[in-house]
Amino acid sequence: MKKNQYSLFNNIAFYFKKLSEFQPSIIWILALRVILSVTLPLFTIYMPKLLVDLATSHAGVEKFVLIFGGFSVAYILLSAIVSYTWEAVYFDFNFFRQYLAYYIFRKSLSIPYKDTESGIHRGEYWGAIGQAQCGDMSSSNRFYMMVPSFLITILNFFIYSTILANLNIFIAILLIVISMINYFFMEIERKSRKKIQPKLDNLYKKIEYIQHSSSGSGESSPAKDIRIFHLSKWIKQKEQKLIDKEKKYHKHLMGINFTRQNIGFILGFIRDGIAYVYLVNQAVVGNITPGDFVLYLGAIHGFSDFVSSIAWNIQELLTASDRAQSYRKYYDMQEEDIIQGTVTADDMKYPLDIEFKDVCFRYDDKKDVLKNLSFHIHGGEKIAIVGVNGAGKTTIVKLLCGFYEPDKGEILINGININQFAKRDLYKLFSTVFQENRIFPFTVGENLTFQLKENIDKKRAENALKEAGLWKKLKRQKITLDDYMTKYFMKEGVTFSGGEMQRFILARAIYKDAPLLILDEPTAALDPIAESEIYNKYAEISREKTSIFISHRLASTSFSDKILFLKDGTITEKGTHEELIKRNGEYAHMFQVQASYYRKGDMQNDNRFNK
């Protein structure tokens, strides 16, 4: 079994430190709760003895009522305060638990890019946020409830031991030993739970994914496929299989829990039986008074309860500590350093000059994705990088944006290695348009500018939409910057066609007005006419800027100054469209194949369309 990275004490210190930073008064309220909770049980064991002593000493009714009344009032008052202290903090625990989950979400926005592409990261994210969200079973709530409870039981344990040691030290030892045996079985149960929990977490992650992505509650719903491909049956079967597995694990855990509880019951029966027989015997032979008998009876009962509680508390704390590992791991994850670096965006002269010098890169140990790649884009040049899928085009963009570092060689912007830039400033240099672009279910203005409504420069936003050729449509349909996009939050939310969406994303790039425009397969989902319109727009807005067009569709190359043909991570051909066609190499071949699909006759002659 994997050893925990953070110890129990380290986790307790972590969660309580965070809580005290969030709400310092909670710690004092919890301390008060501990003190009062230790005092209360003393009433319950001393009150019966007092009453019996008063009865047997024939005390007057007045004295009896006074003492009994005094004790009762004090007891009720203390109980009320204990219950109030609980109410006062429980709400904060839950609020803070949400806050701990928010922290994980916020952290996910600033982790290094390469971690976001790894499946491991997604698993760790769900592990951390999932456990923070699971109510009283979350480690934070467990710790906040169990640490005070543990202190209360430990203090009570000492008080009760002192009382019982007066009666018979062996009885006290017997109670402890039997409880320790019980603890041993509890530990077996915890270890089984710890072994199964990651498997359960993994199942929850899958079930949650299936439900979220298929129900239409997520961003995109497979509603069409559900109908056409009878997807619902397949989804239900997939979900059912996972649920069946979950049931199997739960059944296994329930079985262990049931056995452990029965053993605990039998041990408790033996333990109390021996103690009570001894006590009755002491009373019968006259070694203890009736008052003491009542006192010890309460003490044995309480002591057994406390010893069991200690074992249970330790188990709960250890389980909370097991569950805390995934949270702590994500919490401590290294964030992307966006400040470190000596070169800033203000140091740059425009248009930007870009150079890749002998760049090699691989994602993992499997194969080189870029091999000794060298090219130079002079300031203001528009280049197209073309090549088949998987050639390494997007990888070039990821390296240029600083998302990954080359294994060998260097990438220069205006002659400066991009490693020397503060990442924050490096990111300022790029406006990017990708095929997949995220639209949030918020307003048109917010989606365009990524600013809160009150900070949007409306004039600039309007100009960007005009330049992207979208303004007239918005005016015609009476869509304003304040209208919501998508139907996710608002049923009257705005939706755009594929071409309009590309224009909108282009407007986003225009609004940002960065000196380097990168277009990575932006028109892959568009028809040829919409594609051609969009390319004309790109040509217009990139007039003064250095720009990189990435595509496997060669229509993009007509207005590029230079074309780089990429194959298996290496540039195999370089030149203008005319030069490469003349060369009659792979570019020319690819161009001819693609062009043939746009020619009417060729479409009909293509065997694939005649089948």
- CB 436 → ligand ADP: shortest distance, Å? 12
Q: Strand 370-377 vs strand 354-361: parallel, antiparallel, or unpaired?
A: antiparallel
531: helix, strand or coil? helix
Least distance between ligand ADP and beta carbon 524 (Å)? 10
Closer by beta carbon to ligand ADP, 242 or else 391: 391
Comparison of 49 and 393: residue with beta carbon closer to ligand ADP: 393
Nearer to ligand ADP, 121 or 378 (CB): 121
Q: Does 363 bind ligand ADP (CB under 6 A)?
A: yes
CB distance 138 to 316 below 8 Å: no
Give residues 405-424 in contact with ligand ADP (rule: CB under 6 A).
Answer: none
Nearer to ligand ADP, 119 or 415 (CB): 119
Helix (H, G, I), strand (E, B) or coil at 151: helix
- Restricting to residues 386-405, name those near ligand ADP by CB under 6 A: 387, 389-395
**Measured distance CA(211)–CA(189) in Å, rounded:** 31
Instruction: Render 389-457 in DSSP notation, one character per residue.
Output: TTSSHHHHHHHHTTSS--SEEEEEETTEEGGGB-HHHHHHTEEEEESS----SSBHHHHHH-S-GGG--
Binding mask 253-292 for ligand ADP (x = CB under 6 A): ----------------------------------------
| Least distance to ligand ADP, CB of residue 389, Å | 4
- Please give the residues from 450 up to 489 whose contact with ligand ADP meets the rule CB under 6 A: none
- Closer to ligand ADP at the Cβ: 164 or 369? 369
**Quick one: which segment of 200-208, 311-319, 384-392, 424-432 binds ligand ADP (CB under 6 A)?**
384-392
Q: Please state the closest distance from residue 458 (CB atom) to ligand ADP, in A.
A: 36
Using the minimum distance from each CB to ligand ADP, give the nearer residue, 278 or 363: 363
| Region binding ligand ADP by CB under 6 A among candidate stretches 213-221, 281-289, 339-347, 382-390 | 382-390
Residue 335, judged by CB atoms within 10 A of its CB (0-12, 13-18, 19+), counts as exposed
17 versus 367: smaller Cβ distance to ligand ADP: 367
Q: Would you say 298 or 392 has its CB closer to ligand ADP?
A: 392
Q: Are 329 and 124 in contact (CB under 8 A)?
A: yes
Within 91-150, the residues that bind ligand ADP by CB under 6 A are 117
Q: For residue 443, what are its two tokens?
A: 């307003």
Q: Which of 147, 172, 369, 418 binds ligand ADP (CB under 6 A)?
A: 369
- Pattern 565-604, ligand ADP, x by CB under 6 A: ----------------------------------------
Residue 184 one-letter amino acid: F
Question: Residue 7: left if φ>0, alpha if ψ -120 to 50, beta else—which one?
Answer: beta
All residues at 6 or more sequence positions from 176 whose CB lies less than 8 Å from its CB, including other chains: 307
Binding mask 316-355 for ligand ADP (x = CB under 6 A): ----------------------------------------
CB atoms within 10 A of CB 144: 26
Minimum distance from residue 112 beta carbon to ligand ADP (Å): 13
Q: How far is the CB of 391 from ligand ADP (least distance, A)?
A: 4
Residue with tokens 């080189």: 368
Q: How far is the CB of 516 from ligand ADP (least distance, A)?
A: 18
Return d(Cα 420, Cα 342) in angstroms, integer.
6
* Residue with smaller CB distance to ligand ADP, 97 or 393: 393
Burial string for 252-277 (b: 16+ CB within 10 Å, else e) reads ebeebeeebeebbeebbeebeebbee
Q: Put the strands of the sheet holding 570-575 in their side by side order.
A: 430-434, 516-520, 546-551, 382-386, 562-567, 570-575
Instruction: Report the site for ligand ADP in 172-201 (rule: CB under 6 A).
Output: none
Taken in order 131, 137, 143, 144, the sign of the CA dihedral is positive
**Least distance (Å) between residue 430 CB and ligand ADP:** 17
In the complex, what is the shortest distance from the CB of residue 569 to ligand ADP, in angstroms, rounded to a whole number? 7
Q: Nearer to ligand ADP by C-beta: 394 or 486?
A: 394
**Cβ closest to ligand ADP, residue 218 vs residue 390:** 390
Angle, helices 169-214 vs 139-167, to 10°: value is 170
- The nearest distance, CB 591 to ligand ADP, in angstroms, is 17
Q: Yes or no: say if 370 and 565 are a contact pair by the CB < 8 Å rule.
A: no
How many residues interact with ligand ADP (rule CB under 6 A)? 12
Closest approach of ligand ADP to the CB of residue 393, in Å: 4
Q: Vertex 559, ends 381 and 377: CA angle to 5°? A: 20
H/E run at residue 355: strand 354-361
**CB of residue 536 vs ligand ADP: minimum separation in angstroms?**
24
- Shortest distance, position 386 Cβ to ligand ADP, whole Å: 9
Stretch that binds ligand ADP, among 200-208, 289-297, 385-393, 444-452 (CB under 6 A): 385-393
* Complete edge-to-edge strand list for the sheet that includes strand 416-417: 370-377, 354-361, 408-413, 416-417
Say if CB 306 and CB 164 are below 8 A apart: no
Q: Which residues bind ligand ADP (CB under 6 A)?
A: 117, 363-364, 369, 387, 389-395
